[in-house]
Structure 1
Amino acid sequence: MTAQLEAATRLSLDEDDYFRGVSAGMPEGSRRVIDGLEKVKSVYVECDRDDALLTGFNRYLERYVATRRLPRQEADCFFLVGASGAGKTAAIGRLLSGHAALRPVPTPYGLKPRYVSIKLKGYAPPRLVGLQIVREAGYGLAMKTGRGEVWDGMAGHLQSQGVFLVHIDEAQHLLKRNASQSDREELANAIKGVAIDTKWPVAFVFSGLPEVLGLPIGDDQVERRGNFVRFADVAMPEEKDLVLNILSRMGEAVGIASSHLADTDLPERLAFAARHRYARICQLVEGALQEAMHWKREALTYGHFAVAFERRSLAYGQDDKNPFLAEHWRGLRQGSFLTIDDAPAQSS
């Protein structure tokens, strides 16, 4: 095991011990629910979009491997885009960590990763993004290193660590909202320079909001190399079975039933409350299960969802604004997942 992996393992163990202490200070009922929530959070419900993502990524990887057999050719870029709450981060993280072609390589010094993944939390200058990438790969560089030096040497640094793929999550933060055309072209050229390195072309995977597509548009050569997968909203009633499967699979983890809701309008209300976003649907189901566990119930009810929605919005005490309680819920404006629209509910 490398020193980097050993340090990460020690940190993980220390954090587990730390939060076990936090959990121990919670009420007994909360400790029981925490145990249940850990089981719920471990559930990932696959669907057609995961198949589409895997197929698109495999096609992309096929072309990259063929590129390596022809050293003068260049690597493409892969883009996964979708609205906030679509579940992009979980889906791409699960794909990369579980893909057989990306498994770490055993060496006499431990396991060496084939890819690195970073998550941008806000706009960061390209130099700092480059530093984060090479450091995640285990290559140390000084903070004073210039932007040109970081990106110009990145392919060689990653080659020395055996890393051929770089994943950047929340990649829309690569660009400022008011980025000029020259800013876009400069960043696109920096990424392109690493992707077309003749000795070690690096494969880039970008996931984030659709704004990230502003990157390739700034350079038609990067656009030409783009591979794109988009996570659309959950369509209702066409994908009602997906919502029911989410309810069933997540509830099964803690022995809480949901089959009795199949012939009700709960799945439609749930999708509506979550703005038809996959990850938000899962988030609300998790919240409803949390309430059911607190009440020690064996089956989900509308009430569990109504309370879960209240806790994640400003709908407390306003039943006409709660899509799990309002009679004319279809008339509510979507987007009141976190805030309440002042407009009154309308008849459906």
Structure 2
Amino acid sequence: MSRDRIRQTARRIALLRDHFIHHDRFGPLEDRFLLLIEKRLADCEAGRTGEAHGIALSGLSGTGKTSAMDQMMARVCKWLNNSGHEDFSNVSIRVPSPATLKFVGQTLLRALGYQISSERQAWYIWDLVRHHLKERKILFVHLDEAQHLASRGTRHELNSVASMLKTLMTDPEWPVGIILSGTQELEDILNHDPQLARRMDTVHFESLSPVAHSNDVLDLVETYCCKAELEPGKDILELMHGERLIHAAANQFGLVIVLTLAAIEQAYLADAPLLTRAHFAKAYHLRTSCDDTFNPFIIPDFVRIDARQVFSREKR
């Protein structure tokens, strides 16, 4: 395989990763966020400083939460700039692990363009956070991987996290909305504090169902084929392929996209004009190092395979 083909494949796949698939869960999430944005702008224009509200998005790993949030934040940023509200903005960070309130505050300050010594105490850091949120006219703070905020799960930790979030949302000078996204453990934070929970709209990304979503997944594959300038082979247009792909992705929407892009990558590397099930089988093997007898794109009884396992092999 030539170095040029590898380089070209890498570049084409990078472009495909930038393509966002609009799914039926994204629209309602975006609508909720836009409504909260409009409410915050209305309060700002009227000089009101009432408490802000937010959204908590939960779901299993691989459901596409991060991609959806990245797309939503980018679209809202563009809308603010094009609608005469360019003075306002939002900020997004990934909560570090292990997470302490002090470390999260430092990460948020860096995202706001401010560096601070690690020797400062947590209370001082969060005072600076509130100051810079006001100076930058930040409407919403998005915390991705928010389950790390309560990774130790102690009552003291949960109290501290909930208190910090409520302080930002009820700041008398500049209340800031909070967007939390993460795995289902973040629900423990909300369930721990009813006062915080009542300030949040909650959204849950469910797993895919082979029965209900196979046709949607086939449409997704066809869309990517069009973007990738590949013809879809007959074997990936069958309903069974949609079921195989959902199962191989452990029923998670984000992993369906990962596997589809990996299959397209194999087609590019082989200089193939068609995207076929064999490319999906190869992509799954490279991802898991499983024998063919544990590859859901090869065997007939694929539902017996645990798609979250890697290195699965026949016992010899």
Give yes or no for TM over 0.5: yes
Say whether residues 1:246 and 2:220 are aligned partners. yes
- Map 1:197-276 to 2 at 5 A: 197-258=171-232, 260=234, 261-276=236-251
Q: Which of 264, 271, 275 is equivalent to 1:289?
A: 264
- Report the equivalent of 1:37: 13
Which moves more between the two structures, 243-252 or 200-209?
Answer: 243-252
Contact 2:293 2:314 in 1 (8 A): no
How many residue pairs end up in the alignment? 312
Amino acid at match of 1:160: E
Aligned to 2:61: 84
Q: Which amino acid aligns with 1:28?
A: D
Could you tell me whether the CA contact under 8 Å between 1:236 and 1:268 is conserved in 2?
yes
Segments of 5+ residues of structure 2 without an aligned counterpart are: none
> How much does 1:101 deviate?
4.8
How far apart, CA to CA, are the structure 2 residues paired with 1:331 and 1:138? 50
Counterpart in the other structure of 2:101: 126
TM-align CA RMSD: 2.5
Q: Which stretch shows the higher mean deviation, 235-244 or 64-73?
A: 64-73
Task: Specify every segment of 5 or more residues in structure 1 that has no aligned partner in the other structure, as ranges.
Answer: 1-25, 344-348
Pairing 1:94-173 to 2, within 5 Å after superposition:
94-99=71-76, 100-103=78-81, 114-173=89-148
Alignment check: 8 A CA contact 1:124 1:173 kept? yes
Distance 1:232 1:169 in 2: 18
Give how far 1:340 is off.
2.9
Correspondence for 1:322 among 289, 295, 304: 295
Q: Is the 8 A contact 2:207 2:253 kept in 1?
A: yes
Stretches (4+) displaced over 6 A: 104-107
Is 1:28 aligned to residue 18 of structure 2?
Answer: no
SS of 2:160's equivalent in the other structure is: helix
Task: Give the match's secondary structure for 2:185.
Answer: helix
SS at structure 1 position matched to 2:98? coil
Q: Distance in 2 between matches of 1:339 and 1:33?
A: 26
Counterpart Cα distance in 1 of 2:55 and 2:84 = 27
Alpha-carbon separation, structure 1, partners of 2:210 and 2:104: 39
Please tell me whether the aligned partners of residues 113 and 163 of structure 1 are also in contact (alpha carbons under 8 angstroms): yes
Deviation of 1:82 (Å): 1.1
Please give the per-residue CA displacement for 1:264-314, whole angstroms capped at 9, x wherever unaligned: 511110110001111100111111111111111111212111110000003
Residue in 1 that maps onto 2:308: 335
Distance 1:35 1:134 in 2: 33
Closer/same/farther in 2, CA of residues 67 and 285 from structure 1, 3 Å limit: same
